[in-house]
């Protein structure tokens, strides 16, 4: 009883604390100076038709590198704690239904291509490396759900992940050496605005992020799936 | 019109979130939590943030739900053994 009263009092207290945010809320009438600079100069400087993702990988590229590092640490943590010890005995699992089998056979290539499309067109349409990588991971998850005996080749996964991570940083350093700063995309030709090969290094960076995120998430799910016997 | 849609989505999200809390069965709770994410992704789409919506739909309602389900499966197996 006392517990419940305390809980209600606590919730009321939090609501009171949040009240000023609701009361004094006012929509922004104009962009902040930084945002205004991005909007005005971004398309010209970066050459990407999708301003949001162009800003994410260039002006705010260091933040994105940090996010990728956080995801890497999370994947490494899952891999460490859920490591399979000794020999890997296949637990008896129920076979997937026919619907899942046929659905996966049909959808797997489509989802894979869609994921690649999302990160290759990151500088043109909404989306980017993260989204594309996650979509690729969901395709593999579908495969793992369907085929209970399927196993992912871990060394290939690690190779893809490390190579794309290293290439991402290498591109950042190339930008530092050849252009204005770390993760500057302008050491490659900006090209024609709105075409697939444009916006300098942005499609390249997004491809590496997409591969890295996809490999990491597949690794996480693969680790979670295995039942330690 | 958009405001009405946002309010409706918000109300359903709150209901789903409460369901996820009070649900006795863990499986239903996980699925309710996934539904919150799915509705949130629609909300982001309405608020003109398609890239965030994409991430939310794929990670929030897809992978997170799945990871929870795998974890649930694991806990049950260990319960049975131990």
- pLDDT one-digit tens code per residue, A23-36: 877 777 787 888 88
Residue of B nearest to A125 (CA): B51
**Would you say B54 and A126 are in contact if contact means Cβ atoms under 8 Å apart?**
yes
Query: What number is the average pLDDT over the span A164-175?
Result: 84
Angle at B41 between CA A215 and CA B16, to 5 degrees: 110
Residue B48, CA distances (Å) to A41, A229, B1, B45, B53 in order? 22, 47, 15, 5, 9
pLDDT score for A90? 53
pLDDT tier, A92 (very low <50, low <70, confident <90, very high otherwise): low
**What mean pLDDT comes out for the span A203-222?**
86
Query: Testing the interface with A: which of B51, B65, B81 to mutate, by most A Cβ within 10 A?
Result: B51
CB pairs A-B closer than 8 Å: 44
Q: What pLDDT digit, counting tens, does each position of B21-42 carry?
A: 888 888 899 999 999 999 999 9
In the structure, how many helices (H) and strands (E) does chain A have?
Answer: 8, 0
Question: Stretch A181-208: mean pLDDT, rounded?
Answer: 76
User: Given CB atoms, is A213 within the 8 Å cutoff of chain B?
Assistant: no
With 70 as the cut, is the pLDDT of residue A222 above it? Answer: yes
CA pair distance A102, A114, nearest whole angstrom: 19
pLDDT tier at A93, thresholds 50, 70, 90: low
Provide the 8-state DSSP code for A88: -
Task: Judge whether B77 is closer than 8 Å to chain A, CB to CB.
Answer: yes
Tell me if A139 sits within 8 A of A215, measured CB to CB.
Answer: no
Report d(CA B64, CA A166) in Å as an integer: 27
Alpha carbons B79 and B47: distance in angstroms, whole number: 44
- In the structure, what pLDDT confidence band is assigned to residue A170 with cuts at 50, 70 and 90? confident
pTM of the model: 0.79
On average, the pLDDT of chain A sits at 81
| Closest B-chain CA to A220 | B67
Chain A: nearest CA to B14, how far in angstroms? 16
Interface check A127 vs B, CB under 8 A: yes
Judged by a CB distance cut-off of 8 A, whether residue A130 touches chain B is yes
Angstrom distance (rounded) from CA A216 to CA A212:
6
B contacts of A127 (beta carbons < 8 Å): 50-51, 54
Residues 6+ apart with CB under 8 A from A223: A78, A79, A82, A83
CB contact under 8 A, B67 and A127: no
Would the CB atoms of B67 and A138 count as touching at under 8 Å?
A: no
Cβ contacts of residue A21 below 8 Å, gap of 6+?
none
Would you call B71 and A224 a contact, using CB atoms and an 8 Å cutoff? yes
For A216, how many CA atoms within 13 A lie in the half-sphere containing its CB? 29
List the one residue out of A221, A214, A222 whose CA is nearest residue A165. Answer: A214
Distance CA A200, CA A153 (A): 33
Helix-, strand-, coil-residue percentages of chain B, each rounded to 5: 90, 0, 10
The alpha carbon of residue B43 is apart from the nearest alpha carbon of chain A, in Å, by 16
Residue A136 has pLDDT above 60, yes or no: yes
Cβ–Cβ below 8 Å for B70 and A221? yes
Degrees to nearest 5, angle at CA A208 with A143 and B68: 40
């Amino acid at each position: 009883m006392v517990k419940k009263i305390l809980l209600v009092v606590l919730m009321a207290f939090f609501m009171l604390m949040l009240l000023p945010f609701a009361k004094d809320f006012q929509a922004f009438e104009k962009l902040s100076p930084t945002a205004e600079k991005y909007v005005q100069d971004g398309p010209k400087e970066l050459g990407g038709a999708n301003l949001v993702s162009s800003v994410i990988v260039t002006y705010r590229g260091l933040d994105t590198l940090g996010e990728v590092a956080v995801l890497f640490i999370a994947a490494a943590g899952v891999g460490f704690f859920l490591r399979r010890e000794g020999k890997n005995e296949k637990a008896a699992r129920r076979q997937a239904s026919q619907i899942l089998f046929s659905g996966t056979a049909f959808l797997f290539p489509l989802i894979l291509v869609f994921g690649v499309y999302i990160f290759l067109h990151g500088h043109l349409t909404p989306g980017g490396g993260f989204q594309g990588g996650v979509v690729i991971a969901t395709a593999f998850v579908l495969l793992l759900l369907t085929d209970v005996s399927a196993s992912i080749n871990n060394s290939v996964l690690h190779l893809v992940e490390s190579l794309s991570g290293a290439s991402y940083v290498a591109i950042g350093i190339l930008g530092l050496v050849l252009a204005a700063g770390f993760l500057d995309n302008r050491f490659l030709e900006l090209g024609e605005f709105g075409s697939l090969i444009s916006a300098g290094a942005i499609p390249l960076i997004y491809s590496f992020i997409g591969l890295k995120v996809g490999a990491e998430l597949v690794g996480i799910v693969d680790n979670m799936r295995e039942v330690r016997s | 019109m958009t405001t009405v849609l946002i309010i409706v989505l918000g109300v359903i999200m709150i209901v789903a979130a409460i369901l996820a809390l009070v649900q006795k069965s863990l499986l239903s709770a996980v699925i309710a939590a996934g539904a919150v994410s799915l509705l949130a992704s629609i909300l982001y789409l309405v608020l003109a943030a398609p890239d965030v919506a994409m991430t939310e739909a794929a990670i929030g309602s897809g992978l997170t739900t799945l990871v929870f389900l795998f974890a649930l499966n694991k806990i049950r197996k260990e319960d049975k053994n131990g």
